[in-house]
Structure 1
Amino acid sequence: MDLLQQIFQYVLDLGAAVFVPLLMFIVGIAAKMKWKEAFSAAVILGVAFIGMNIVIGFMLNALTPAAQGLVERTGIELNIIDGGWTSLATLAWAWPLAFLMFPLQMAVNAVMLIINKTQTLNVDLWNVWGKILTAVLVIGVSGNVVLAFLVAAFQMVIELLLGDVNQKQIEKITGIPGVTVSHSMMIFGAFLLPFNWLISKVPFLDKHVDADTLKERIGIFAENHVMGFIIGLLLGIVAGYSVQATLTLAVQAATALTLFPMVAKLFMQALSPLSEAVSDFMRKKFQNRQLFIGLDWPILAGSNEVWVAMIILVPITLIYAIILPGNNVLPFAGIINTSLAVPALIITGGNLLRMILLGIVTTPIFLYIATGFAPTITQLARDTNAVNIADGQLLSWSTLEYPVFRYIFADASSGSILGIFFGAVWIVLLVVYYRMMKKRTEALKKEEEVA
């Protein structure tokens, strides 16, 4: 058992930038690609992951001090530390049974493919830590290990089903055929569903406004570099920066928004030949079967709407943290809310205006659930000694991925009647979301046939 744990841990310790390209190289060879082409595509995919991490890290380093400056100007003190995803991942991997989640995910995916209940091959195995974290949170609330694995397995099934129905929308946004996003953050789309529907019924908010639409209407001010500069400039001003620091932040934000689409093109360059090879292989071996390659969310990073929405939501998140009664978490490490922007991109079809409105409406949910989970997360950190926390402080993650799912099912696992009730409501929302995206898929297919 220890040897098996060491093998899985070694593989996962390679990181997404090495592990996923290695897995994709194996998939490419299995799909009869020439080894030189498979190797080249795998290396470019690794470059894309590293490049995206560099740009995201650059943007975080620029924006986090500005966020801190804004909070310091208010003089507010909140006692829950925002450890971000890295602290929570460390906590997840400290669980003694964490290594079992890796083979469980592969088994669930294999069974779903064999019985033809999914078309998604999830190669985003590095993010298995997200399922581990869900299990750890369930144990922290209920103490039930069996239920923890069952909830995690349920999450795995959902991410495969969503990978299927979101695929056509993702292909439209990325321009990469045969790929989808199998990251569990897409689960939040089910919670966004009723809010998105309500917003779409408001006059003047039912129109599609994306980055291209803005360019048509306001010209140069909707260009990535100009838009980034303006947003950075405003952030610097509200943070109380000097003129020099404000201008530097503005140029840094402009740089980030300019580089994101450039780096995202590398994903297309790497994944298109791999996707074509897998599609050809499936057509030859299995009639009428199509296989989608499930990947991490950065393949969507070329969408300008994602970054504009996330940066605009930074000051909004901080204002909420300051004014919301009952919130005790101070957003820092998780200040860039991909957990919201990415599923919002999909459910709105890239409607920037609606993405921002969804962010304004639902950001409080992230802060309140981060506050609610803080005692559980802090206790788990102390029990495992995975993260050091000073006395009197608590640990959480301000933009915890798919917070509603995790909170409801952790609560339900403890036998809570309310948790079970809301779990049933959430499943209904998931079914409605699934059917809606299935209809959208059919509509997009018809558009392709007409074209």
Structure 2
Amino acid sequence: MGALTDIIQGILGVGASVMLPIMIFIVGIIFGVKPGKALVGGITVGIGMIGINLVVDLLTSSVGPAAQAMVKRFGLHLTVIDAGWPAVSSGTWAQPIAAVMIPVVIIVNLVMIFTKMTKTLDIDIWNYWHMGAAAATAYIVTGSWWFGIVAGIIYEVAVLLIADKTAPKVAEFYGLDGVSFPTGSAAAYGLLGIPIGWLVSKIPGLNKIDVDAQTIQKKFGIFGEPMVMGIVIGAALGILGGYDLPNIAKIGMTMGGVMFLMPRMVKVLMEGLIPIQEGAQNFLQKRSGDRKIYLGMDAALSTGAPETLATGLLMVPITLFLAVILPGNRVLPFADLATIPFFVALIVPSRKGNIIHSVISCTIVMALALLMATDFSDVLTEMMKGVVAFPQGAAHVSNLDTGGNFLNWLILKLSQLVSPLFH
């Protein structure tokens, strides 16, 4: 088992920019794309992913310190620290059951495709750790390997079904035709946020408000440009963090750069996917008529839309405010604040890019996520003990990506319900 874990860690360790082109090339060959075309497509996707990762790093390295400054400035004292998804993913891979889930996830996905249970071929292997986290959660609670694997499969099936259901909106809103988002966190937040957003849109008065990027641009001219919106939101984060004027200007320009560069990086990546998508469609049409297949990709692609980035960035101070006023919450949001734009990837298109409706919907979802993350803290603390260094002064840890994840929380509750059967 240790050897299997080492192999899995070695494969994942080379990063998305290396593994994704290889996987795209293999998928292209399987679907009958000419080797040269598949290779160029794979390399182009890898270059696009390098660009996306550079912009994401720019985003997180700016929002993270701003969030930390806000926490210090407002003197927030909560007993459970948000350790962030990188720490939780490390804790997940340290569980032996997580390594087993990699081949299980692949086999289940292929079986579901061949039996027409799903249209999504999930090639986003880095986010398989979400399935591993669900399996590890069930294993820690029940002590049962087989139940842990079953829990991971249940999680995977739910994520793939959500990805299928939301793929048409992903194509319509983001322009990512033939792509779905089987990212565990995005799917779980969408599962709550989409129906909540629908209810928000029915509230008298609110149903008349429609504020997307184009509306802002029309009404506010240059201030409605995505890059300028980024500068304004970034400057607001700097002001809330108590930054001085030069640093307010710096974070503002950085967020403006993120809003400007991300759509262009996503466009590069999509150029590489086009021949693979065409090959997949031709392959399936020859064998099963008009059946469509979606390539499951990281929800980070959603940040190419200014409405998604704007909603995610606006949710950073809102989430901190919620943490202070929400009865029953013990989680201090921190490391996962910068990844909120990924959580809202399926909520924003369901509101057709209406930023006001999206922010209200995400505020309700985030309140629920904080309570779930609080409830999850004992299990996540157990998962990460001896694996990652806890933040200074933290006796308990949780996070928004996994602990605040509705699907994973349901796995936790199911595991606690059946736990007596295994003890």
State the one-letter code of the partner of 1:183.
Answer: T
State the one-letter code of the partner of 1:367.
Answer: L
Q: Equivalent residue for 2:41?
A: 41
TM-aligned CA deviation for residue 88 of structure 1: 0.5
Other structure's SS at 1:33 match: coil
State the one-letter code of the partner of 2:330.
Answer: N
Which structure 2 residue ranges, 5 or more long, are not aligned?
A: none
Distance verdict in 2 for CA 1:289–1:232, change over 3 Å: closer
Q: Equivalent residue for 2:76?
A: 76
Q: Are 2:378 and 1:375 aligned?
A: yes
Distance verdict in 2 for CA 1:56–1:339, change over 3 Å: closer
Q: Does structure 2 conserve the Cα–Cα contact (< 8 Å) formed by 1:41 and 1:269?
A: yes
TM-aligned CA deviation for residue 324 of structure 1: 2.5
Q: Equivalent residue for 1:111?
A: 111
Distance verdict in 2 for CA 1:172–1:391, change over 3 Å: closer
TM-aligned CA deviation for residue 309 of structure 1: 0.4
Cα distance between partner residues in 2 of 1:266 and 1:405: 32
State the one-letter code of the partner of 1:58.
Answer: L
1:328-377 Cα shifts (integer Å, max 9, x gaps): 22222101213531121233232222111112222122222222212221
Q: Equivalent residue for 1:174?
A: 174
Which stretch of structure 1 is more off in the superposition, 263-272 or 14-23? 14-23
Q: Does structure 2 conserve the Cα–Cα contact (< 8 Å) formed by 1:181 and 1:296?
A: yes
Cα distance between partner residues in 2 of 1:70 and 1:188: 25
Q: Are 2:216 and 1:228 aligned?
A: no
Q: Equivalent residue for 1:211?
A: 213
Q: 2:367 aligns with which of 361, 364, 369?
A: 364
Map 1:84-99; keep pairs closer than 5 Å: 84-99=84-99
Q: Equivalent residue for 1:187?
A: 188
Which stretch of structure 1 is more off in the superposition, 24-33 or 3-12? 3-12
Cα distance between partner residues in 2 of 1:223 and 1:167: 27
TM-aligned CA deviation for residue 402 of structure 1: 6.1
Map 1:232-243; keep pairs closer than 5 Å: 232-243=234-245
Q: Equivalent residue for 1:26?
A: 26
State the one-letter code of the partner of 2:100.
Answer: L
Other structure's SS at 2:77 match: coil
Q: Equivalent residue for 1:420?
A: none
Cα distance between partner residues in 1 of 2:117 and 2:41: 29
Other structure's SS at 2:96 match: coil
Q: Equivalent residue for 2:129?
A: 129
Q: Does structure 2 conserve the Cα–Cα contact (< 8 Å) formed by 1:313 and 1:360?
A: yes
TM-aligned CA deviation for residue 42 of structure 1: 0.8
1:264-297 Cα shifts (integer Å, max 9, x gaps): 1112211112111211222223333322211111
Q: TM-score, normalised by structure 1?
A: 0.86
Q: Does structure 2 conserve the Cα–Cα contact (< 8 Å) formed by 1:178 and 1:292?
A: yes
Cα distance between partner residues in 2 of 1:243 and 1:86: 32
Cα distance between partner residues in 2 of 1:32 and 1:143: 45
Other structure's SS at 1:342 match: coil
Cα distance between partner residues in 2 of 1:110 and 1:234: 46
State the one-letter code of the partner of 1:278.
Answer: A
Cα distance between partner residues in 1 of 2:126 and 2:237: 34
Cα distance between partner residues in 2 of 1:178 and 1:79: 44
Distance verdict in 2 for CA 1:38–1:320, change over 3 Å: same
Q: Are 2:384 and 1:386 aligned?
A: no
Q: Does structure 2 conserve the Cα–Cα contact (< 8 Å) formed by 1:173 and 1:300?
A: no
State the one-letter code of the partner of 1:110.
Answer: L
Cα distance between partner residues in 2 of 1:359 and 1:299: 19
Distance verdict in 2 for CA 1:399–1:380, change over 3 Å: closer
Q: Are 2:160 and 1:157 aligned?
A: no
RMSD between aligned residues: 2.1
TM-aligned CA deviation for residue 155 of structure 1: 1.5
Other structure's SS at 1:398 match: coil
1:222-245 Cα shifts (integer Å, max 9, x gaps): 101111111122222222211222
Other structure's SS at 1:81 match: strand
Q: Does structure 2 conserve the Cα–Cα contact (< 8 Å) formed by 1:176 and 1:271?
A: no
Cα distance between partner residues in 1 of 2:352 and 2:188: 16
Distance verdict in 2 for CA 1:401–1:45, change over 3 Å: farther
Q: Does structure 1 conserve the Cα–Cα contact (< 8 Å) formed by 2:315 and 2:362?
A: yes
Q: Equivalent residue for 2:349?
A: 346
State the one-letter code of the partner of 1:396.
Answer: S
Cα distance between partner residues in 1 of 2:32 and 2:206: 48
Cα distance between partner residues in 2 of 1:78 and 1:169: 38
Distance verdict in 2 for CA 1:416–1:109, change over 3 Å: closer
State the one-letter code of the partner of 1:209.
Answer: V
Other structure's SS at 1:395 match: strand
Q: Does structure 1 conserve the Cα–Cα contact (< 8 Å) formed by 2:81 and 2:394?
A: no
Cα distance between partner residues in 1 of 2:414 and 2:397: 23
Other structure's SS at 1:206 match: helix
Which stretch of structure 1 is more off in the superposition, 264-273 or 402-411? 402-411
Cα distance between partner residues in 2 of 1:91 and 1:197: 36
Which stretch of structure 1 is more off in the superposition, 34-43 or 142-151? 142-151
Q: Are 2:401 and 1:395 aligned?
A: no
Number of residue equivalences: 415
Q: Equivalent residue for 2:249?
A: 247
State the one-letter code of the partner of 1:36.
Answer: G
Q: Equivalent residue for 1:198?
A: 199
Other structure's SS at 1:414 match: helix
Map 1:311-330; keep pairs closer than 5 Å: 311-330=313-332
Map 1:2-13; keep pairs closer than 5 Å: 4-13=4-13
Q: 2:304 aligns with which of 296, 302, 314?
A: 302
TM-aligned CA deviation for residue 260 of structure 1: 1.3
Q: Are 2:287 and 1:285 aligned?
A: yes
State the one-letter code of the partner of 1:361.
Answer: I
Q: TM-score, normalised by structure 2?
A: 0.92
Distance verdict in 2 for CA 1:399–1:125, change over 3 Å: closer
Q: Does structure 1 conserve the Cα–Cα contact (< 8 Å) formed by 2:198 and 2:351?
A: no
